Amino acid sequence: MTDQCLFCGIVAGTVPSVKVAEDETTYAFMDINPGSDGHLLVVPKRHSKDLMEIPADDLAAVTLAAQRIAKAAVPALGADGVNLLNCCGADAWQTVFHFHLHVIPRYVDKSRDRLGLPWVPTPGDAEAIAATGAKVVAALG
Ligand code: 5GP
Ligand code: ZN
């Protein structure tokens, strides 16, 4: 728990939230700026800043909770699919620095769904893709 963290406040109950699920390790609640009907967030109760920092056991617990909630929410809300999203770092759109997974039900009916792809998928340069892949392989050791 950190005093300045909004999501630590939500977990502690000092900041109000619409809770959808809770277990020993995780807390799930509705997003106040929903990108679609049913957009919610799953967080570890123990504070971690982001994907780089979160311990493996908390990451596993949050991911499994997100899957459990998605499996219930998609049919219950009549969704046609679901996105799990994590943003790590301000340049990757992270705005709250307590790790969270977005669970975003998706709909053919766009009156329930305001999301779109943020880039136009176009083929990359094959050599550049291979060279970048090699850098990642080298970094993995
Ligand atoms: P990020 O941009 O860090 O990936 O996601 C942060 C999310 O937290 C955003 O989708 C934003 O709408 C949500 N959010 C920000 N403040 C609050 C709040 O006070 N309550 C709830 N329930 N969600 C919040
Ligand atoms: Zn926190």
Q: Domain with 25 in it: what CATH number? A: 3.30.428.10
Question: Listing from the earlier edge strand, what are the strands of the sheet with 26-30?
Answer: 19-22, 26-30, 40-44, 101-106, 81-85
Q: Which structural domain, as residue segments, surrounds residue 67?
A: 6-140
Ligand sitting nearest the alpha carbon of 15: 1
- Which pLDDT score is estimated for 92? 98
Q: Could you read off the pLDDT of 55-96 as tens digits, one per residue?
A: 999 999 999 999 999 999 999 999 999 999 999 999 999 999
| Tokens encoding 13 | 């109950």
Mean pLDDT of 91-109: 98
- Is 12 part of a structural domain of the chain? yes
17 CB within 6 A, ligand 1 = yes
**What CA–CA distance (Å, rounded) separates 71 from 128?**
38
What is the CA(44)–ligand 2 centre distance, in A? 9
- Which pLDDT score is estimated for 83? 98
From the alpha carbon of 29, which atom of ligand 1 is closest? 22
**What CA–CA distance (Å, rounded) separates 7 from 15?**
8
93 CB within 6 A, ligand 1 = yes
Span between the terminal Cα atoms of the chain, in Å:
34
- Which pLDDT score is estimated for 1? 52
31 CB within 6 A, ligand 1 = yes
Q: Could you read off the pLDDT of 6-47 as tens digits, one per residue?
A: 999 999 999 999 999 999 999 999 999 999 999 999 999 999
- Is 76 part of a structural domain of the chain? yes
Q: Tell me, yes or no, if 100 is annotated catalytic.
A: yes
Q: Are 42 and 28 in contact (CB under 8 A)?
A: yes
- Is 1 part of a structural domain of the chain? no
Which residue carries 């792809």 as its tokens? 117
- Indicate the number of domains in the chain: 1
What is the CA(75)–ligand 2 centre distance, in A? 31
